[in-house]
C-alpha cells in the first residue's frame, strides 16, 4: 500500500463550483450492473500505458460480460487537449478518464465537467487526501519518476546518484529524457524538479546532447536497447519489471528526492454511458483492479487492502518530491514569456510560444525577440477540427517573411490566417474524429 500522501487536498481551495456535500459512498448493486449492461459499452480515455489500460479493460469485460471497453490511450497532455476540444464543441465522447497530471482534474472540476461518484472502496480504504471531497475523482494508482541506467554500459559505482550528477560532461550524448509536452508524468516531474533545483538545471541538462523522446515509458525502452546508457527521467515501474525479468537495467532514486506521480480517475458528467462508467470506476478502484496494477505492472496503490509484491522497495524508504496541482494549473502568460525570454537568452533569434491548447476564453501566443515582446490574442474557437494548426502556422509565418514582412507582421498575419482556417473548419466533412483546418476558406 502507498502510505505517503500527495498534495491533492489543495484542490479543494481551487476548484469551483462548490458543492453542498459529497455524495454518499456507492456499492456495486445488481441495478447498476443491469443498467451498465443495457448501455453495453464505455469509452475509457487513459494516460496509462496501452498494455495496462487494455488489461484493465479485458479484466472488467471478463467480470461483467456484455459490456465492452473502448480504450483511447495517449499522453496525458494530449488527452487534456482532446477533452477540452470535445467539451468545447459539445461532443460527449468520453465516459471516464485518468491522467498523470492531477491539475487536469482541478480544471475539469472548475468547469463542472465531472460527475460525483464515490465508490464504497474509496470511502472505506483510501486516505482522505487521495479522493476529491466532492467525490468527483480519486487516485487510481501512482509511481515514481526516476533516474536509471543500463548495467551493461554503466558500472554501479559510476552510475549517477543525483540529478546534478547528470550534468557531468562524461554523460554527454548518453542520456535519454521524456517530454513534458506529451507526458503528464513528465510535466509533473519537470514542475517539481524546477521548483527544487531551479530552471537552470534543465538549461544545463540541455547542453548534454540529450535524446528527447515522448512518453515517460520510452526512456526505459531506450536503456534496454542500449541506445542510451542513462535516463534522466522515466517510470520506475518499467525498470522494476524489466529487472525482475533479468534485463540489464537499474533504477536510481536520486539523493535530492524523486517525483511522486499520482493518477486520478473520474467519471464525466455528460458521459454517454454513465452507468458503465461508474461500474468501471468501482472496478478500477476496488481490490481486484488495484491488485492487478500492483502485481502485474509494479504500480503503487493507495488502497489499504492491497499488498505490495515482495522484493519491491517500499515508498516509505524513499525521499519523495510531491507536486502541487494548483500551482501546476496556475501557469500563466507571465510564465510563457519567462520561458521565451530564457530561450532567447540561450541564443534563439526569436521565440513564439503557442497558447492554443489552453483552457481560457482567449487563445494567447507570446512572441519574444531580443529587445521586443508581442502578445497575440484571439478568441478561442470551439471545434474538433484542429489538425495541422502548428504546421500551418509555421508555413504561414515563413510565407510572410518571404513576402518581405517583418517578423511581428508575419506572425500576426499567420495567426489571423490560422484562426480563420480554424473557424471555417467545420465546413469540412472529411473522415471521422478530429479533422483538418480549412486552408482554402478564402475561396470556398
For 31-73, the pLDDT digits (tens) are 999 999 999 999 999 999 999 999 999 999 999 999 999 999 9
Tens digits of residue pLDDT in 344-371: 887 888 999 887 655 556 778 889 988 8
Domains 7-141+260-314 and 146-258 share a fold: yes
Q: Hey, which residues does 149 pair with through a beta bridge?
A: 230, 250
Q: Which of 195, 194, 201 is nearest to 167 (CA)?
A: 201
Query: If 0-12 CB within 10 Å is exposed, 13-18 middle and 19+ buried, where does residue 142 land?
Result: buried
Q: Between residues 329 and 370, which one has the greater pLDDT?
A: 370
* CATH code for the part of the protein at 146-258: 3.40.190.10
Q: What angle do CA 429, 434, 439 make, to 5 degrees?
A: 60
Which grid cell is 103? 491539475
The pLDDT, as a whole number, for residue 433 is 57
Fold of 333-427: 3.40.1190
Alpha-carbon distance values, 85 to 6, 89, 358 (Å): 29, 6, 10
Q: Provide φ and ψ at 149, rounded to 5°.
A: -155, 160
What are the residue boundaries of the structural domains of the chain, listed by start? 7-141+260-314, 146-258, 333-427
Question: What is the reported pTM?
Answer: 0.73
Confidence of residue 298 (pLDDT cuts 50, 70, 90): very high
The pLDDT, as a whole number, for residue 4 is 36
Confidence of residue 11 (pLDDT cuts 50, 70, 90): very low
Residue 6 predicted with pLDDT over 70: no
CB 234 within 8 A of CB 217: yes
Total residue length of the chain: 444
Assign 3-class secondary structure to 315-340: HHHCCEECCCHHHHHCCCHHHHHHHH
- 3-class secondary-structure state, position 285: helix
**Given this structure, which CATH class describes domain 7-141+260-314?**
alpha beta
Q: Between residues 303 and 348, which one has the greater pLDDT?
A: 303
Amino acid at each position: 500500500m502507498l502510505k505517503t500522501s500527495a498534495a491533492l487536498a489543495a484542490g479543494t481551495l481551487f476548484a469551483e463550483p462548490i458543492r453542498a456535500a459529497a455524495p454518499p459512498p456507492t456499492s456495486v448493486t445488481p441495478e447498476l450492473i443491469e443498467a451498465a449492461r443495457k448501455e453495453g459499452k464505455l469509452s475509457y480515455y487513459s494516460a496509462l500505458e496501452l498494455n495496462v489500460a487494455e488489461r484493465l479493460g479485458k479484466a472488467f469485460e471478463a467480470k461483467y460480460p456484455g459490456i465492452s471497453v473502448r480504450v483511447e490511450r495517449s499522453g496525458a497532455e494530449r488527452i487534456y487537449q482532446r477533452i477540452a476540444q470535445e467539451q468545447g464543441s459539445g461532443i460527449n465522447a468520453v465516459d471516464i478518464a485518468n491522467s498523470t497530471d492531477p491539475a487536469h482534474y482541478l480544471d475539469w472540476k472548475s468547469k463542472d465537467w465531472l460527475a460525483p461518484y464515490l465508490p464504497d472502496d474509496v470511502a472505506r480504504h483510501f486516505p482522505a487526501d487521495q479522493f476529491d471531497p466532492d467525490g468527483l475523482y480519486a487516485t487510481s494508482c501512482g509511481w515514481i519518476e526516476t533516474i536509471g541506467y543500463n548495467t551493461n554500459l554503466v558500472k554501479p559505482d559510476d552510475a549517477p546518484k543525483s540529478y546534478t550528477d547528470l550534468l557531468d560532461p562524461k554523460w554527454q550524448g548518453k542520456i535519454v529524457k521524456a517530454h513534458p509536452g506529451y507526458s503528464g508524468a513528465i510535466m509533473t516531474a519537470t514542475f517539481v524538479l524546477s521548483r527544487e533545483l531551479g530552471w537552470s538545471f534543465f538549461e544545463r541538462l540541455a547542453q548534454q546532447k540529450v535524446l528527447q523522446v515522448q512518453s515517460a515509458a520510452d526512456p526505459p525502452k531506450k536503456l534496454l536497447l542500449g541506445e542510451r546508457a542513462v535516463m534522466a527521467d522515466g517510470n520506475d515501474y518499467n525498470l522494476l519489471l524489466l529487472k525482475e525479468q533479468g534485463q540489464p537495467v537499474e533504477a536510481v532514486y536520486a539523493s535530492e528526492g524523486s517525483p511522486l506521480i499520482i493518477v486520478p480517475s473520474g467519471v464525466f458528467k455528460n458521459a454517454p454511458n454513465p452507468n458503465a462508467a461508474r461500474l468501471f470506476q468501482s472496478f478500477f478502484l476496488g481490490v481486484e483492479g488495484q491488485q492487478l496494477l500492483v502485481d502485474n505492472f509494479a504500480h503503487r496503490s493507495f488502497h489499504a487492502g492491497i499488498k505490495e509484491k515482495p522484493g519491491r522497495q517500499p515508498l516509505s524508504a524513499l525521499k519523495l518530491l510531491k507536486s502541487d496541482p494548483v500551482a501546476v494549473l496556475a501557469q500563466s502568460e507571465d510564465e510563457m514569456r519567462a520561458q521565451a525570454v530564457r530561450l532567447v537568452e540561450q541564443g534563439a533569434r526569436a521565440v513564439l510560444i503557442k497558447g492554443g491548447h489552453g483552457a481560457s476564453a482567449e487563445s494567447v501566443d507570446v512572441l519574444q525577440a531580443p529587445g521586443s515582446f508581442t502578445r497575440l490574442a484571439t478568441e478561442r474557437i470551439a471545434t474538433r477540427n484542429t489538425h495541422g494548426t502548428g504546421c500551418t502556422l509555421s508555413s504561414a509565418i515563413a510565407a510572410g517573411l518571404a513576402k518581405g514582412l517583418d517578423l511581428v507582421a508575419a506572425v500576426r498575419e499567420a495567426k489571423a490566417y490560422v484562426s480563420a482556417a480554424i473557424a471555417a473548419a467545420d465546413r469540412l466533412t472529411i473522415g471521422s474524429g478530429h479533422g483538418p483546418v480549412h486552408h482554402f476558406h478564402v475561396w470556398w
